[in-house]
Amino acid sequence: MALDYLPSWGQLPAEQYLIESWNPASTEPPSTQRARLVKQFLNIDYFNADWDPTRGGTNPDAQPVRVPTEGEISIILRPWRSDDIRRRAWRVWEAYTNTGGNNPVLLRTWYDPKDDERVKSWATLSEFFEDDAAWAILDDPAVFNFGTGPWQQVLEILPEIAARLFHDDRWVRRKDWRVDNRLYSRFKGRLNAVKRSNPSWRSDLNVLVKGNTAAQSFLHLVSRSYILIADKETFETDHFLLAYLDARGRVTMQGRILVDEDRLTQVSLERFQAIPPMDVFEEGELGTDYIVAAGNAGDREVYYWMREDLEDDPPPGDEDED
């Protein structure tokens, strides 16, 4: 999938949100206001259908209802992203919205010239990944050189990586996972068995999720997109960081995988088959917002803990019960 389409100004939902929400009378520097609004965009609960005239990139001829003015383009949009980044944003939006992003974006955050040829070889490392490498590999030190800083900075540049949810005839970033959800029910139903298998569970409440196979499947469902990160550790250990993200771009689970043709191919297949990869969901780490009983977004919006879930001893029973 080549980078052959440059979207019209305002065709992407994030751009529509920016021009609609922009306050020209604000005393904030434009860069500060823009960064704040991008973060707001990632946290809104409901999408305005008018923000996505192309319906996830399926109709590129559709033009935005709200066409930005020349002033809005020059002040708000053009300083934010180059044509190359906007082309990539379009492809990310199209792929992640319509196919679930079977191939992940690969973000390079650590730049040493001696690694450049190695990074180029990743485009053909996997036959599956090769088809999307032209847009999926984010390798530009002028834009993505985050050093040892948080890789999540990429979401301020490409919020399209955080794929939205579809629910009740509208696009959303939040839903009640308790409603008619078999995986959520199985996750809660396995808690007593997990406690019996882990007698010291109170000392590490995260085991209620990480030691719970049903919870792993549930968090994989909650994860709307995923991303590979080539950070400093990648070049030292030959292992990518693989992170799964919810609809707001928050990490659900992350772990290290070998930089290898077979493993990269398997990553794509696991996504296509909706299988949680063991080296991430069993051996990896919960994202900051998904650490158990930390009063965070995961507690409020995903786990919906009851008092007895976190405090009560399990009744006697079969540890292998489902």
pLDDT at 319: 56
Range of the domain at 19: 7-80
Residues 73 and 218 in one domain: no
Q: Show the low-confidence residues of the chain (pLDDT under 70).
A: 1-2, 99-101, 166-170, 318-322
Residues 300, 216 within the same domain: yes
- Indicate whether 290 belongs to any domain: yes
pLDDT of residue 204: 96
Shared domain check, 21 and 163: no
Query: At which of 24, 47, 80 does a domain end?
Result: 80
Are 43 and 160 members of one domain?
no
Per-residue model confidence (pLDDT) at position 229: 99
**Whole-angstrom distance, CA of residue 314 vs CA of residue 100:** 38
Q: According to the model, what pLDDT value does residue 168 have?
A: 57
Same domain, 277 and 153: yes
pLDDT tens track for 130-184: 989 999 999 999 999 999 999 999 999 999 999 887 655 567 888 889 987 899 9
Examine the domain organization and report whether 40 and 171 are in the same domain: no
- Alpha carbon distance 200, 14 (integer Å): 46
Same domain, 159 and 197: yes
The total number of structural domains in the chain stands at 2
Q: What is the pLDDT of residue 223?
A: 93
What was the pLDDT predicted at 169?
Answer: 59
One domain, residues 222 and 118: yes
Confirm whether 44 is domain-assigned.
Answer: yes
Sequence-distant (≥ 6) Cβ neighbours of residue 257 within 8 angstroms: 239, 240, 242, 263, 264, 267, 277, 279, 280
Residue 310 counted as domain residue? yes
Query: Does residue 291 share a domain with residue 188?
Result: yes
Task: Name, in order, each residue with C-beta under 8 angstroms of 294's C-beta and a sequence gap of 6 or more.
Answer: none
Q: Is residue 252 part of a domain?
A: yes
